[in-house]
Structure 1
Amino acid sequence: MIAAESAYLAVTAVLLAAALGKLRDVPGFARSVAGYRVLPDGLARPAAVGVLVAELVAAGLLLVPGGRRWGAVAAGLLFAAFLAAMASVVRRGMAVDCGCFGGRDLVGAGTLLRTGLLLVLAVTAALAGPTAFAPVQLPVAAVLLGLAIVPARLLRVNRDRAASGPRPGTPFALNGAPEPAGDRVMYALVSPACGLCGAMLPEFAATAARLEVVLVSAVDGHGGDGLPVVVDPDVFDRNDIPWPPYVVVTDRARTVLAAGGAAAPAQLEQILSRAGAAAPRDER
């Protein structure tokens, strides 16, 4: 059947597009992998590189008739692993970038549907085996791609509606933190495997001249750059925080004043400004 015989081209195109998207920002993809929080932080970057290499190898095998079935099996295993990780994120109610094509799609019904359909295409390619190339396979493969991708786009999660991170007025759940010394505290959530976290450490340290700053990590291993460090393995899941670096500013009672991703100094300043506006007048 021509559809089954064309499935390998559709899967190859997806793998190459995904790999090229990740190659443009490997550290960003590693942060997306870490955001799933299904692996220890130290394994996020090796896993990201491993996925990238596996996608390129599987695509190469699919283009060679003698290796096509192996390439399809490898692609199927990748899609199955992606599907399991996404299902875990949805089950935990987290807002996480899927990292699928180097873009910023949030994991949700759309990414689950797309990955499931791609898994079906990979299985179909494996069952079809090493068929000879024919020009008619190109338009058929394009149709198969459309059937796998277009329905998923209709279910795409709106980033503006995605609930993630602690909301102002809610408690910030943190175990092992010292009693606040001042009226406000900035908790900077970081990870030893996060390159952006390391780049932002001097900014967090400079902020300590303005208010109390505490670094928070899910694992040991962060130097702290002179700042106190609290290790709480469940802090990300408990507060629905998607990925580091992330900042939460609270009052003395640890009620959230402002929170958000802080991957750049401008983002940090915006959070501090919102926290200042939210603080009671007698704290200003």
Structure 2
Amino acid sequence: MTILVASAPLALAAVLAFAALGKLWDVAAFAKSVAGYEIVPPRAALPVACLVLGAELVSAVLLVPPGTRLWGAGLAFVLFASFLTGMASALARGMRVDCGCFAGTHDVIGPGTLVRTGLLLALTVPAALATKAAFRPVHLAVAVLVLAVVFGLSTLLRRWTTRPAGPRTGGKLDLPAPVGELGGGADLLLFAFVSPDCGLCRRMLPEFRSAAERFRLVLVSAASEADLREHLAGQSEDLPVVTGPRVFEANNIPWPPYAAITSGTGTVLAHGGASSPEQLHAVLAGVRS
């Protein structure tokens, strides 16, 4: 039996255990990632998230002892095949969503995530064949090398295929409501892309409001207006809000909070991430008022 075959179960167990344990810290956030795929009804997102977490943990445990590796590999095959199918479905529908693969990564689905998941799916085959391989230290070393190759290839592919994030400077923002109506006649508008799932967005709100001394401020979110207002806890009742389920994807927004400054007609003058005061000030500095 080759060293690669004997190392595959350890590599898969490490990935599944790391993914599951990270998500356990915030199951609700993982459930929102599941809901983002729009494959299961919103009310089923939490039960499905718990089912996936449990399956990942069980598979990781079963993959370690030689006598249960076949069952662990089979369960891992079902998991990674399901993940790959869900990602392909979302991409086919033109969606730009967080894959929910690992906690805290905000890894948007794309060619990189597809390749990584496909390679992990392929590893379930040798893992199923390693039912008689006793553990040797060299297996652990090879497992680390295998994972380095898998994640390295997916990272390189993501960098090669990812288009520059954010709207095109000089282009128009794609919003559910006309910019002219939102602008109220202002010459310069600051659009703050935020989300109820984003703690930084709430902390950045005072910075956005301070910037409103120079620009008319409009909050933009993919959530419903009711959810956004509830998240902001009454801090922004006087601010205009525009919401739409595809507003992030339509404007190539990588992750909130994000700022875009436009003219009164919606032409993008400056844009960029705004997760800190310094980042927001850099975007503001790109516009001469």
Question: Which residue pairs with 1:112 in the alignment?
Answer: 114
- Segments of structure 2 that go 5 or more residues without pairing to the other structure are none
Structure 1 residues 264 and 8, CA, compared in 2 at 3 Å: closer, same or farther? same
Structure 1 residues not aligned, in runs of 5+: 278-283
Aligned partner of 2:205 among 198, 201, 204? 201
Q: Is this contact kept in 2: 1:110–1:153, CA < 8 A?
A: yes
Moved more, 242-251 or 82-91: 82-91
The aligned residue for residue 13 of structure 1 is 14
* Aligned counterpart, 2:168: 167
For 1:103 and 1:193, locate their aligned partners in 2 and report how far apart those are by CA, in whole Å: 14
Superposed counterparts of 1:14-53, under 5 Å? 14-19=15-20, 22=22, 30=29, 34=33, 37-39=36-38
Task: Give the root-mean-square deviation of aligned CA atoms.
Answer: 4.0
1:201 maps to amino acid: L
TM-score, length-scaled by structure 2? 0.73
Higher mean alpha-carbon deviation, 97-106 vs 259-268, is at 97-106
2:255 equivalent in structure 1: 243
Displacement of 1:109 in angstroms is 3.6
Q: Which moved more, 1:109-118 or 1:61-70?
A: 61-70
Map 1:177-256; keep pairs closer than 5 Å. Answer: 177=178, 178-181=181-184, 182-220=186-224, 221-223=227-229, 225-226=236-237, 227-256=239-268
Task: Provide the TM-score with structure 1 as the length reference.
Answer: 0.74
1:155 aligns with one of 122, 147, 157: 157
- Taking the aligned partners of 1:54 and 1:250, their CA distance within structure 2 comes to 47
1:171 is displaced (CA, Å) by: 0.4
Which secondary structure state, in structure 1, belongs to the residue aligned with residue 262 of structure 2? strand
Distance 2:60 2:165 in 1: 35
CA contact (8 A) 2:193 2:256 kept: yes
Quick check: 2:169–2:270 contact (8 Å CA) kept in 1? yes
Identify the range of structure 1 (86-95 vs 113-122) with the bigger mean alpha-carbon deviation: 86-95
| Deviations 1:60-86, CA, capped at 9 Å, x for gaps | 232245543343233223323433344
With 171-180 and 61-70 compared, the bigger mean Cα shift is at 61-70
Distance 1:168 1:145, change over 3 A: closer
Identity of aligned residues (%): 42
Q: 1:68 to 1:234 in 2, by over 3 A?
A: same
Tell me, yes or no, if the aligned pair for 2:69 and 2:131 is still in contact at 8 Å: yes
* Preserved CA contact (<8 Å) 2:270 2:283: yes
How many pairs are equivalent?
273
Q: Secondary structure in 1 aligned to 2:220?
A: strand
Q: CA deviation at 1:201?
A: 2.4
Task: Kindly state the Cα deviation for residue 142 of structure 1 after the two structures are TM-superposed.
Answer: 4.8
Give the aligned residue type for 1:38: Y
